[in-house]
Amino acid sequence: MDKFVIRGGNPLVGTVRISGAKNTALPCMAAALLTEETVVLENIPDVRDLQTMRRLLVEMGGEVELGYGRAHHRTTICTRSLNRPEAPYELVKTMRASTLVLGPLVARMGRARVSLPGGCAIGARPIDLHIKALERLGANIAQEHGYVEARAERLRGGHIVWDRISVTGTEELMMAATLAEGETVMENCAREPEVGDLASLLHRMGARIEGAGTGTIRIQGVPRLHAARHRIIPDRIEAGTFVIAGAMTGGDLIVANCEPAHIGALLQKLAEVGASLQVGQDTVRVIGNGGLKAADVNTEEYPGFPTDMQAQYMALATQAEGTSIITENIFENRFMHAQEMVRMGANIKIEGRRAIVRGKAPLSGAAVLASDLRASASLVLAALVAEGETIIDRVYHIDRGYERIEEKLRGVGAQMKRIGEMLPKKVALAPTS
């Protein structure tokens, strides 16, 4: 299993380019199930979750090309010969977003068999609300042997009020409703930018959707959808992660090819803690001037402070003067990274859904363990400011959602290597330029 070796203390200087958004690319790939024609997605990130979604679509009988490098981060998907509307446990257990195929399969094929996702490091994360909503569109759903079996001659438009805001729930039902008979109205929907971007693709495929990106979405069902080409939005969480890296390391970093409006809550919080930011049209320049001060954070649904930035913000809070209280309101078990940071010398106390972070705490390099995607990103940030070397184990978590993070960070001055590249015994980290 790959590990990262990071020697801290180097300010990040230069420009880092943000990749396409994983959490848009996944539902957009699932949306290709809604038509027999070809869907082309551009600006997709080279991350492991996309490979998993590709495998899933191919196992169902789809043709999926994932092209990087000269193929410009493009995927071409055609599911004309879809013959096995099933998402097996082997794949769903590695990526719970696989359940996004349930709605599109029932809508297109009239049947689907999808493994239930099971538990996750950050929380229970059931899909009960997805299932309830599909039943409101007329699907007959049975659950047995760990699978959801869904059937519907043709889905019927209906009125859905989400008990709780769900990002993939909103996305999945928005997709399913595009082929339903009649109108569907969904209320208390997720307003994340990924939902709006998925709706843009569906529009290009001929869907009739109003209100995506707001709390209420109206979908007029159509008999079929057609081919489309769509460029997905930049990854706001990757952008936020690098902005925090710049603020923590005292460098002068330009985060380019991002959408600053999508990280408004984060940028506002960073201004509050005293980071110096210059926001451009598709760039954020962050000049680390040290002197960070503590500020509390509550994670909320968009446009509030994103839960997917909570761990990274905790790393920054360890370097801020004063006490920051971080309250996690979305997932019930999303503080696994805290104890690993404590191993590096951070002062963090967990009380239920609150983390009390006292700073500024000098961090020292240590061997730490990544538990999930964003937790591993936060440990990379902590290691960048720690004295000495940190070894992060299980970095396969980070490969799920960050494209070649070690190359991007090395490109702006970080001393970082991936073990698995069989380095000589004494880790030879090239002196920084």
Residues forming the active site: 120
Of 7 and 374, nearer to ligand EPZ (C-beta) is: 374
- The DSSP code for 74 is E
CB 359 within 8 A of CB 319: yes
Q: What phi and psi, each to the nearest 5 degrees, are found at residue 214?
A: -115, 180
CB 332 within 8 A of CB 362: no
> Closest distance between ligand EPZ and the C-beta of residue 431, in Å?
34
Give the tokens for residue 193: 């930018």
- The DSSP code for 338 is H
> Closest distance between ligand EPZ and the C-beta of residue 301, in Å?
7
Instruction: Using the structure block, give the residue that is written with the tokens 């007329």.
Output: 138
Determine if the peptide bond prior to 360 is cis (ω within 30°). yes
| Residue 12 identity (one-letter amino acid) | L
Of 53 and 366, nearer to ligand EPZ (C-beta) is: 53
Of 86 and 192, nearer to ligand EPZ (C-beta) is: 192
Other CB atoms closer than 10 Å to residue 422's CB: what's the count?
5
Query: Cα–Cα distance between 82 and 135 in angstroms, integer?
Result: 23
CB 180 within 8 A of CB 208: no
Smallest CA-to-CA distance from 42 within 205, 228, 218 is with: 228
Pairing of β 228-231 and β 38-42:
parallel
CB 361 within 8 A of CB 330: no
Of 129 and 245, nearer to ligand EPZ (C-beta) is: 129
Of 29 and 167, nearer to ligand EPZ (C-beta) is: 167
Of 132 and 226, nearer to ligand EPZ (C-beta) is: 132
Pairing of β 322-327 and β 297-298:
parallel
> Closest distance between ligand EPZ and the C-beta of residue 322, in Å?
27
Other CB atoms closer than 10 Å to residue 81's CB: what's the count?
10
> Closest distance between ligand EPZ and the C-beta of residue 264, in Å?
15
Of 111 and 125, nearer to ligand EPZ (C-beta) is: 125
CB 191 within 8 A of CB 121: no
- Helices 373-385 and 336-343 pack at an angle, to 10 degrees, of 20
> Closest distance between ligand EPZ and the C-beta of residue 133, in Å?
8
Q: What phi and psi, each to the nearest 5 degrees, are found at residue 252?
A: -140, 95
CB 228 within 8 A of CB 212: no
> Closest distance between ligand EPZ and the C-beta of residue 275, in Å?
23
- The DSSP code for 260 is G
Residue ranges in contact with ligand EPZ by CB under 6 A:
23, 26, 97, 123-130, 164, 166-169, 190, 307-308, 330-331, 373-374, 401
Of 38 and 188, nearer to ligand EPZ (C-beta) is: 188
Q: 42-54 burial, b for 16+ CB within 10 Å, e for fewer?
A: ebbbbbbbbebbb
